[in-house]
Amino acid sequence: MSDVGALDSWMSPQEALSRFKSDEMSLLDLNLPSVDESKIRYGFRYENIGFIIGKGVLSEVINDYVVYPMPNCSDWLTGLANVRGNLVPVYDLRKLFQLEVAESFYKHLLVIDQGSDSVGVLIEDLPQSLETIDWKPSSYRPKLAVNISEYIKASYLIDAVAWIDFDHAEFFKSIKDSVAV
């Protein structure tokens, strides 16, 4: 038999949840300087050339990936990767731009964008966070084997690294006709 009188002495849910008071401030009460999220960008690089991923462009890093080669294609289009049922073209930008291609060991596949604009790029290191708030645009354009100047929105020269903010979707559309060998 249960003791019905004991149930009458229970607190209401509101009383139970609000009975503990903390003298410590919560993180919500702190006046921490806010970071302007629109100024934080991500990018990847090959030696002294960096590529900035566009604002608002979704991207992901895949570590365990398989690239299926395509016959009769340029060596810089390494093939296609199956990303959740979607076939994504995978590029080796070192070969495309004829950068030093000394024994590259790609650990990651960076998938930039989604849908028909998605492309895969082979990278050695994870993309890095770039705090571009104090970056001043530069007129410097690195000399690359494939001209991307018309797709560059801005470039920055930071600590001897040329960071390029470029329209990846339009650039990769422009080179699709040169894929076949």
Residue 111 belongs to some domain of the structure: yes
Residue 130 belongs to some domain of the structure: yes
pLDDT in tens, the chain (181 residues): 555 566 677 888 777 777 766 555 554 555 555 555 556 889 999 888 999 998 889 999 999 999 999 999 998 999 999 998 999 999 999 899 888 766 667 899 999 999 888 999 999 999 999 988 888 999 888 888 888 888 999 999 998 899 999 999 999 998 887 787 6
Range of the domain at 145: 37-178
Residue 5 belongs to some domain of the structure: no
Residue type, 82: N
Residue 72 belongs to some domain of the structure: yes
In the chain, DSSP assigns E strands to: 40-46, 49-52, 59-62, 67-68, 77-83, 86-91, 108-112, 119-123, 128-131, 152-158, 161-166
CA dist list (Å): 174 to 37, 109, 147, 157: 31, 22, 11, 26
- Residues near 139 by beta carbon (within 8 Å), at least 6 away in sequence: 155
pLDDT of residue 133: 82
Instruction: Return the CATH number at 104.
Output: 2.40.50.180
Residue 30 belongs to some domain of the structure: no
Residue 6 belongs to some domain of the structure: no
Residue 29 belongs to some domain of the structure: no
Give the count of domains, the chain: 1
Residue 23 belongs to some domain of the structure: no
Q: Is 129 exposed, middle or buried (0-12, 13-18, 19+ CB in 10 A)?
A: exposed
Question: In the chain, what is the straight-line distance between the N-terminal and C-terminal CA atoms, in Å?
Answer: 86
pLDDT of residue 122: 95
Q: Is this structure's pTM higher than 0.95?
A: no
